[in-house]
Structure 1
């Protein structure tokens, strides 16, 4: 029963945007009926948790993160009835569903803001943060420096400035206001009643910033505990997943004592992992893991390679970012937000090198925590750098080589986003149907990886330890749980090598997964690795 209530400790999460996944009615926009049609595919792949990007009614200034109505579905994507049907089908497949909770800001078109700007005496006036003379030294606070030059915007109707850390069309909510907190609890309860297993909480550090509000930092942070308590009282196994791109020393704010966020995206490890891949050296990964604090027993890290935003590198030093850019994004068009990140998917970053792609996902799935896949990762989808900003990695799912990649039967110009139709990553050559027919495809490899990962609960539950390899390019670690141990070894370099692990002689290494059929390690625990090679083992006792 305890394990059921903390299912997130060993989940395989798959992230998708309903509007770019599958179109059921030929209008060019993905929808919930289309998603329902593809649940068998996701279940067959071994996915047991879906994270859905915002599907609420929205002007779509920021990919749906500018919400107009927290209690409904964007009519392009379906109805609440379609959502409930989707939840029923997902439950039948044993798939948990997380949805985005976007409550650090609303759309400027939300009725709350419309009431706030037109009537100073409206209660909604205090749902937002206003100032008649805002400070001007706020450049470092701007999330989108390419589009905004301040976090304050003057509103003619309101005759005051309102706070917005993101686009000016997204006014920040005032979390210090108890009525706003109550509204957020209502939103959480509404979607819990419709069956969701929890929420990915958007931009949590901005949710608890004290800029312009009448509250101390600790008072704002306490709302994270309030949210968790409210959630858990209504559904014991529901979770909060925080998007918090912060340094390791600040993660305690979000995990608390196990009474705040259940999970955090591991941004710090993600950025150090790409530095390690660029250098072909294990030390950045080792240093990152050693820098992470011990987290509460029921909490969890969510590891990822790429998601729907840019590959954010803001926690690295300038010279480290440049190292990554030189290897993975040498052209300015591949970078975003004044050199803060990369707007590419993984396969193009690696020049299509299957060895490096496999190495990276093997590493992702074996790191302490749980893995996240972004839709299309399993077939090696590419990007479209001709699209603006983050849209380069938000192209529709490629199901087949047919019209519009099997995503939609509409005219191509009506698609919510253009298909990748040219080049190496065109839907004509990279798609689910072709991948399923090819026994050596990335999709079939990913299927094996997921099956093996689900047999290795130690990686989600266990205590990890870094193993000395004697080779700077090789990262090796173990995870132990319930007297069982899994060991993973990854060669980050473009040269083959051999290492000898210093292990107890009363144990032997049993091969679980790898890039080649290698010789079985002998009593010396010597392990051979090809260039970009990887191997997983279970440590078993030698019977007398």
Structure 2
């Protein structure tokens, strides 16, 4: 690998169909996304993660794929994708795409052949049972919608496994031919210039149900994926979605020869316990739980993404604490394990708390990820079903449909938010670009400062002891460079005394307001309610 570019990249996640519509049909497309690349460049992001854009019946937001080698016609053509990739590369923006290979759509030609012909090789691409297996302890991913993960198919005369919706039959990853197909799919998109893949539902790919599988062989497949990818593009990376307990994380990294990045689900869940309690202790606890990772690997930190804020790796009482603080109504919760809201409504629109949370997330060990619309403080629409509440179109201006599309509103994939507090008339890019004090301009400064501090992605971090339980302080050291960071999780100001013997001089880099400079011999540091300060450490 030529460089570990992902250690300090700023990632940005978006769904093409809800970002920008270029032709007025109501659906976002690649031409629209290409027109928005200058905006993303100015924001400071340098790697895009695109949600699935393959042809799909759209039962599950595009994650039910029916053709791995094409673009959904609603979103454009392969030619449009190539033009988008060229424009992104010209601006120094890398692109990761979703690799959805735990399952396919029931309309995929592989499954259609499998259900029609028992002797077809594609029969073994899926997992079948002649009789309904007994109830399993393993639940479906969507327990409120699918109560059973085996579905009888009349044409096949057998039951097939689906851990997501019944329209998404699980692939049999224990079959070497399926694994070969996965590598072929990767090779196709690498030839078109992508910088890697986000592996959807990685644990289910490695732990098939209903077949005899060599688990060590499947874990080794992650190594094969990295080796194959490196043979085609040496700087490409694998990002895994693996929401598992702390003791199950290390195998995904291996010795640095498997996944390059993992979403830090565990850290995110403990972060929200800390926010709910206004206490740093959960952060101290989770940082001790996380395993050491190889030098060439990285965590990917986030606040919210395209699914719910999942809370299934913490205790029931901890989950209830978060519900009480941020999602007290049943309609704000989903699957009994998560929150289906964006962050601004969760904190009642409190700008101070918003800034503190994003500031902290951008300087914890790992690289940061933003979900589209977070930079302007978009809200949610709880009238929509399930996860769709956080998947509304991007709000570009106060023109009809928020500037997302010129089509009639009924043709949009989801309605644009149009309420008094978070509606597109008030919350949009155009308004905030004109306001120097807007969240958008603050976010640009945050990203710019983060990119000027490579210590945060490549350095060694140390948690610092303080005399305030609500203040989390830590520092990163990298060669002869160091930064020190402090965040007040509480809604009251304080002065913090660092329990350190150092007399290093601290220079403010980024903070919630202008503070008096810190004297080289002073260890007591003031912080506003929900305040934060980033310091350059000068020897």
Q: TM-score band (shorter)?
A: over 0.9
Shift of 1:501: 1.6
Match of 1:389 in 2: 386
2:454 to 436, 454, 457: 457
Matched, 1:507 2:500: no
Match of 1:520 in 2: 517
Shift of 1:519: 1.3
Match of 2:5 in 1: 7
Match of 2:352 in 1: 355
Q: Distance in 2 between matches of 1:467 and 1:267?
A: 23
Instruction: Map 1:417-436 onto structure 2 (within 5 A).
Output: 417-436=414-433
Shift of 1:525: 2.1
Shift of 1:5: 2.2
Match of 2:376 in 1: 379
Matched, 1:41 2:39: yes
Match of 1:190 in 2: 188
Matched, 1:400 2:403: no
Q: Distance in 1 between matches of 2:439 and 2:411?
A: 30
1:447 to 420, 444, 464: 444
Matched, 1:138 2:144: no
1:200 counterpart SS class: strand
**Matched-pair contact (CA < 8 Å) for 2:20–2:404:** yes
**Matched-pair contact (CA < 8 Å) for 1:210–1:217:** no
Q: Distance in 2 between matches of 1:203 and 1:415?
A: 28
2:66 to 68, 92, 101: 68
**Stretches of structure 2 lacking an aligned partner (at least 5 in a row):** none
Q: Distance in 1 between matches of 2:229 and 2:125?
A: 22
1:479 to 473, 476, 479: 476
Q: Distance in 1 between matches of 2:501 and 2:450?
A: 24
**Matched-pair contact (CA < 8 Å) for 1:203–1:244:** yes
Q: Distance in 2 between matches of 1:519 and 1:47?
A: 31
Q: Distance in 1 between matches of 2:474 and 2:149?
A: 44
Instruction: Map 1:120-519 onto structure 2 (within 5 A).
Output: 120-337=118-335, 339-519=336-516
Q: Distance in 1 between matches of 2:133 and 2:318?
A: 33
Q: Distance in 2 between matches of 1:88 and 1:108?
A: 33
Q: Distance in 2 between matches of 1:524 and 1:60?
A: 59
2:505 counterpart SS class: strand
Q: Which moved more, 1:259-268 or 1:481-490?
A: 481-490
Shift of 1:356: 0.3
Deviations 1:108-138 (A, max 9, x none): 0000000000000011001001111343222
**Matched-pair contact (CA < 8 Å) for 2:488–2:527:** yes
1:229 counterpart SS class: helix
Q: Which moved more, 1:179-188 or 1:502-511?
A: 502-511
**Matched-pair contact (CA < 8 Å) for 1:139–1:150:** no
Deviations 1:123-158 (A, max 9, x none): 100100111134322253311101111111111111
Shift of 1:504: 4.6
2:75 counterpart SS class: coil
Shift of 1:345: 0.1
Runs of 4+ in 1 over 4 A off after TM superposition: none
Q: How many residues align?
A: 538
Q: Distance in 2 between matches of 1:149 and 1:177?
A: 27
Deviations 1:302-353 (A, max 9, x none): 000000000000011111111100010000000001x210000000000000
Please give the root-mean-square deviation of Cα atoms over the aligned residues, in Å. Answer: 0.9
Match of 1:102 in 2: 100
How high is the TM-score relative to the length of structure 1?
Answer: 0.98
Match of 2:81 in 1: 83
Match of 2:19 in 1: 21
Shift of 1:474: 0.4
2:456 counterpart SS class: helix
Deviations 1:434-466 (A, max 9, x none): 000011000000000000000000000011110
Q: Distance in 1 between matches of 2:182 and 2:484?
A: 43
**Matched-pair contact (CA < 8 Å) for 1:508–1:525:** no
Shift of 1:289: 0.8
Shift of 1:212: 1.1
**Matched-pair contact (CA < 8 Å) for 1:240–1:262:** yes
Q: Distance in 2 between matches of 1:330 and 1:473?
A: 23
Q: Which moved more, 1:303-312 or 1:177-186?
A: 177-186
Q: Distance in 1 between matches of 2:438 and 2:377?
A: 9
Q: Distance in 2 between matches of 1:134 and 1:467?
A: 55
Shift of 1:161: 0.7
How high is the TM-score relative to the length of structure 2?
Answer: 0.99
Deviations 1:177-225 (A, max 9, x none): 1111111011000000000000000000000113112212212222111
Q: Distance in 1 between matches of 2:33 and 2:15?
A: 10
**Stretches of structure 1 lacking an aligned partner (at least 5 in a row):** none
Q: Distance in 1 between matches of 2:209 and 2:30?
A: 38
